A and B are shown apart, each in its own frame.
Chain A
């Protein structure tokens, strides 16, 4: 899958709603390769704490990143991480699995309704958000997955 996603043709984008703590996030469906339930991971000692480990997905090695830890959100599954869900995305030919608390529905949202991040947004969130939707019952933060992985890789190399 390519890093760039074509939004041009339709004026709506589909997002998979995921939950971390009590906050809802939207991940563009087109970047998602797989959604997995909790997996057994191999720990990687010495790596940054957000990296949960690596796992085998149909013969490919996937690096698991704990999004709650990264965003400093208190996870819902602190007592039972078997409820964790993984969203697998590809970035520069490597696979990453983003561990979230819960997976919700796929929402089709009009592109022109996306709003800018409020200036008061938490910096960690601001960095990985490409905008916010106002849904009826809550706010949905759109995750800029590619941008996030880019910055994570760069940070690590630097």
Chain B
């Protein structure tokens, strides 16, 4: 049987099993909108899927049933017992057909016209006669009753009728093993006269048993399906184990060395491995959820007469199967939407000057512990005009409100219920079971969805979801003396506000905002949001913490220290003011007790390593509480070519204080983490400060000789390369800025590359290499500063091609300190693009081992006859610098070949190569 059909059967089976109970509940609570919505969606899904699989009978029944449910949902039809039985009847019919498919692989034959007539009858607004429901054309299958009851006993049955009955009954009594004699009845020739009821029953039942036997292998040939529940429970238990371990470790730390230390370390390791193992069993490539999309798109394009090309990348990206399961339907829905509403017909496309074939691209990748899935189409995009109209029609917003909204805000309306802009209700989509459900489902799993659309150009949906639901990483913050957890998924950055920092909070008529780089960020104090200033709720907190709580907003803004969590939800950014920020912690989300579940600001609660209970904040809830209108758009600005070029040269720098007045800066990409250690945890080994960090001993270096450590805690920049880490102790971390790095003059001081003007302020750029060298002798050889600056080399342009950001960021400042203008790219392909754009350089320094295209191939291309760069000197930079490598490099067209770690040699060679080139040019 077709895999797709098999999958459909499994899914439908699950859906139907749920439906029975739901409909019965509906009868009891006819006004439960959520329930109606749920039933409607299940039927809608069945209908939608079987449309693609080519199951017309099933589709018809589901479609008509859905019509009636739609009226329930729109509340223009009251849910009565009659209607419920009618719906149940159609469900039974659906089950009957589904079971028929399960056995034979194709739809069983049968006549549904009576049922359909009744459904249409109701749909058109007439009352079903009681008599009609009393004698349904096909009896429900879930009891002993067989369709035979309704067949007049003494009637003549044609062979066709009997055959149909056989088939229906096959479905009914699959698995019925009580039949003694199993023999295939001979096909009756013409017409058989059926006399006694019992005998016919027996006759009919023979076949089912045989059929069931035949069907059995189909059901078992599938791979072993482990119950989700089992995996779920396993994961929960492991999560609990992890929590307990964390508590144990924390306790053990306070006691210092004891006989528990060793077993605990073992336990620690085993638990970590166990956790990893269990996580792995739950991981599946995202491609498995995409499997049926090409087919859906193909069928869709045939049905709608469109040409659609579905491009998928990143199928191998793995994520938790539970998450995968939950995003499967939303994804299918969105891809279908893109095909149905997004892509235009070939004629329309040609008319607007696009290629007749539309492209839907699906892309999945990891980003910062989350999975990003992008669904983009190059279709007609969202029509703000239509959405605006619909918003007015549906009374979600007034014309005046809409006037004031930006394009992007208006587009967000498609995430509201009942917002399909398709003008026609088709079998494909357009009933308003739509983006609202998609968004709800995605938010349910702690993800968010963002939308960008340009009318006429296409739409892009970006879904950001956590890798796994069981354990999330969260930032622990404090407000009014109590801690809360903020899921890391929506935290973009942290900003510290103090008197001497660059950032400051301002108020516009009482509402706080923050100038952050080039945007204005609306702020909300978590204190106000949680109303923890309310004296009744926090009486005792107040007693301990008086001055913190009685101050007004104005005062609060003036008070010296605040932290702002810059959060990003969907396409909105906003800042949340908190009192303190602690560490990030891996937490296990536990659901809230039902008496608290009405509080939208919380996503759950958890127990921290120290045993205390903590509430987990829900970023979506906070965003809603702030009111979407109040938020800034962070629409991507149209960056023109020049700016892009500039932006490439801009790098993010971390600024900090260490000694003296001048701020220090280091390229952010070199820093792997920022940490704050307790002084008590810092140990000394061999005359050097060290700390146990992530199961390793990490050397801690003072910024300079006379550096004074903090009193209680010490802020540390952690550098990590090739599995080794090093911590640089600094006084305090200030900010992250983005600017072009032009080192104006070199410093004679060890550890400093030189000074640069960054964001209009002079800063010392530190030489990470120096510290790495100090931390471990073999990292780099100590650099002898080349103090003689060669005036001729200024404004010579060097292009660095290296896939490793570490080296890119090492080399760029290192070369620019010697007066070169440096541009770095992360691969040969990008470099070749620049070549095609006609950019010229005086020297190309390229890595050899790179993905996509290695250095030798790159050199080949550059040295080809028609290349504009064929005379540009090239230097290879590689960690392998044996004689063979060097000769191979020279053969490929490199002028020089330098080992990556040999920095002195590198500079010399750069100088040499450039001057050689010059002399060649002169000569």
- Would A63 and B532 count as touching, CB distance under 8 A? no
Known: A42-B615, A49-B537. A61 touches B590 (CB 8 A): yes
Bound: A128/B532 CA distance, A:
30
Chain B residues whose CB sits within 8 angstroms of the CB of A54 once the complex forms = 593, 605, 613, 615
Known: A42-B612, A61-B607, A94-B593. A157 touches B532 (CB 8 A): no
The DSSP consensus for interface residues of chain A is mixed
- Would B593 and A63 count as touching, CB distance under 8 A? yes
B595 an interface residue at 8 Å Cβ cutoff?
yes
Interface set, chain B 189-212, CB cutoff 8 A to A? none
- Would A56 and B613 count as touching, CB distance under 8 A? yes
Chain B residues whose CB sits within 8 angstroms of the CB of A65 once the complex forms = 595
Known: A42-B612, A45-B537, A54-B605. A59 touches B596 (CB 8 A): no
How far does the Cβ of A52 sit from chain B's closest Cβ, in whole Å?
11
Proximity bits, B593-608, A CB within 8 Å = 1, else 0 = 1111111011001110
A156 an interface residue at 8 Å Cβ cutoff?
yes
- Would A56 and B537 count as touching, CB distance under 8 A? no
Known: A51-B595, A92-B594. A59 touches B243 (CB 8 A): yes
How far does the Cβ of A46 sit from chain B's closest Cβ, in whole Å?
5
B536 an interface residue at 8 Å Cβ cutoff?
yes
- Would B612 and A56 count as touching, CB distance under 8 A? yes
Q: Which of B244, B482, B594, B607 contacts A43 (CB 8 A)?
A: B482
How far does the Cβ of B834 sit from chain A's closest Cβ, in whole Å?
54
Bound: A76/B602 CA distance, A:
33
How far does the Cβ of A21 sit from chain B's closest Cβ, in whole Å?
20
A153 an interface residue at 8 Å Cβ cutoff?
yes
A112 an interface residue at 8 Å Cβ cutoff?
no
Interface set, chain A 27-76, CB cutoff 8 A to B? 40-49, 51, 53-56, 59, 61, 63, 65
Chain B residues whose CB sits within 8 angstroms of the CB of A157 once the complex forms = 594, 597-598
How far does the Cβ of A60 sit from chain B's closest Cβ, in whole Å?
9
How far does the Cβ of B62 sit from chain A's closest Cβ, in whole Å?
32
Chain A residues whose CB sits within 8 angstroms of the CB of B532 once the complex forms = 43, 45
Which residue from chain A places its CB closest to the CB of B625 in the assembled complex?
Answer: A46
Chain A residues whose CB sits within 8 angstroms of the CB of B596 once the complex forms = 44, 47, 51, 63, 156
- Would B599 and A47 count as touching, CB distance under 8 A? yes
Chain A residues whose CB sits within 8 angstroms of the CB of B541 once the complex forms = 43
Interface size range of chain A in the complex:
20 to 34
Known: A43-B541, A46-B531. A63 touches B482 (CB 8 A): no
B708 an interface residue at 8 Å Cβ cutoff?
no
A133 an interface residue at 8 Å Cβ cutoff?
no
Interface set, chain B 563-597, CB cutoff 8 A to A? 590, 593-597
Proximity bits, B221-253, A CB within 8 Å = 1, else 0 = 000000000000000000010011000000000
Bound: A54/B484 CA distance, A:
13
Which residue from chain B places its CB closest to the CB of A54 in the assembled complex?
Answer: B613
- Would B594 and A42 count as touching, CB distance under 8 A? no
Which residue from chain B places its CB closest to the CB of A153 in the assembled complex?
Answer: B594
B611 an interface residue at 8 Å Cβ cutoff?
yes
- Would A45 and B531 count as touching, CB distance under 8 A? yes
B748 an interface residue at 8 Å Cβ cutoff?
no
A152 an interface residue at 8 Å Cβ cutoff?
yes
- Would A43 and B612 count as touching, CB distance under 8 A? no
- Would B607 and A156 count as touching, CB distance under 8 A? no
How far does the Cβ of B906 sit from chain A's closest Cβ, in whole Å?
56
Interface set, chain B 505-561, CB cutoff 8 A to A? 530-532, 536-538, 541
B614 an interface residue at 8 Å Cβ cutoff?
yes
How far does the Cβ of B666 sit from chain A's closest Cβ, in whole Å?
39
- Would B530 and A45 count as touching, CB distance under 8 A? yes
How far does the Cβ of B347 sit from chain A's closest Cβ, in whole Å?
53
Interface centre among B541, B590, B593, B612 (most CB of A within 10 A): B593
Chain A residues whose CB sits within 8 angstroms of the CB of B613 once the complex forms = 41-42, 53-56, 61
How far does the Cβ of B28 sit from chain A's closest Cβ, in whole Å?
15
Chain A residues whose CB sits within 8 angstroms of the CB of B594 once the complex forms = 92, 94, 153, 156-157
Proximity bits, A59-103, B CB within 8 Å = 1, else 0 = 101010100000000000000000000000000101010000000
Chain B residues whose CB sits within 8 angstroms of the CB of A41 once the complex forms = 613
How far does the Cβ of B539 sit from chain A's closest Cβ, in whole Å?
10
Which residue from chain A places its CB closest to the CB of B599 in the assembled complex?
Answer: A46
Interface set, chain A 86-132, CB cutoff 8 A to B? 92, 94, 96
Interface set, chain B 453-500, CB cutoff 8 A to A? 482
Bound: A128/B541 CA distance, A:
31
Which residue from chain B places its CB closest to the CB of A42 in the assembled complex?
Answer: B613
How far does the Cβ of B267 sit from chain A's closest Cβ, in whole Å?
16
How far does the Cβ of B578 sit from chain A's closest Cβ, in whole Å?
13
- Would A156 and B615 count as touching, CB distance under 8 A? no
Chain B residues whose CB sits within 8 angstroms of the CB of A55 once the complex forms = 613
Chain B residues whose CB sits within 8 angstroms of the CB of A44 once the complex forms = 596, 599, 602, 615
How far does the Cβ of A27 sit from chain B's closest Cβ, in whole Å?
18
Q: Which of B244, B614, B615 contacts A59 (CB 8 A)?
A: B244
Which residue from chain A places its CB closest to the CB of B534 in the assembled complex?
Answer: A45
- Would B607 and A59 count as touching, CB distance under 8 A? yes
Which residue from chain A places its CB closest to the CB of B606 in the assembled complex?
Answer: A61
Interface centre among B599, B611, B613 (most CB of A within 10 A): B613
Chain B residues whose CB sits within 8 angstroms of the CB of A156 once the complex forms = 594-598
Chain A residues whose CB sits within 8 angstroms of the CB of B240 once the complex forms = 59
How far does the Cβ of A96 sit from chain B's closest Cβ, in whole Å?
7
Which residue from chain A places its CB closest to the CB of B536 in the assembled complex?
Answer: A49
- Would A153 and B612 count as touching, CB distance under 8 A? no
Bound: A53/B532 CA distance, A:
13
Bound: A40/B599 CA distance, A:
22
- Would A56 and B595 count as touching, CB distance under 8 A? no
Bound: A94/B532 CA distance, A:
26
How far does the Cβ of B156 sit from chain A's closest Cβ, in whole Å?
57
How far does the Cβ of A59 sit from chain B's closest Cβ, in whole Å?
6
Q: Which of A40, A43, A45, A153 contacts B595 (CB 8 A)?
A: A153
Bound: A92/B594 CA distance, A:
9
- Would B593 and A96 count as touching, CB distance under 8 A? yes
How far does the Cβ of B698 sit from chain A's closest Cβ, in whole Å?
32
Bound: A112/B593 CA distance, A:
35
Bound: A139/B520 CA distance, A:
65
Chain A residues whose CB sits within 8 angstroms of the CB of B531 once the complex forms = 45-46
- Would B611 and A56 count as touching, CB distance under 8 A? yes
How far does the Cβ of A137 sit from chain B's closest Cβ, in whole Å?
35
Bound: A41/B614 CA distance, A:
10
How far does the Cβ of B860 sit from chain A's closest Cβ, in whole Å?
62
How far does the Cβ of A40 sit from chain B's closest Cβ, in whole Å?
8
Known: A54-B613, A59-B607. A42 touches B482 (CB 8 A): yes
Which residue from chain B places its CB closest to the CB of A152 in the assembled complex?
Answer: B595
Bound: A45/B605 CA distance, A:
13
Which residue from chain B places its CB closest to the CB of A154 in the assembled complex?
Answer: B594
Bound: A63/B606 CA distance, A:
12
Q: Show 9 residue pairs from A and B whose CB-CB distance is below 8 angstroms, ordered by the A residue.
A: A43-B537, A53-B613, A56-B612, A56-B613, A59-B607, A63-B596, A96-B593, A152-B595, A157-B594
New contact pairs (19) apart from A45-B530, A45-B538, A156-B597, CB-CB < 8 Å = A40-B612, A42-B612, A43-B482, A43-B537, A43-B538, A44-B599, A44-B602, A46-B601, A48-B595, A54-B605, A56-B612, A59-B240, A61-B593, A61-B605, A94-B594, A96-B595, A149-B595, A156-B595, A156-B598
Which are the 9 A-B pairs with shortest beta-carbon distances?
A45-B530, A153-B594, A42-B613, A63-B593, A94-B593, A54-B613, A156-B595, A45-B532, A56-B613
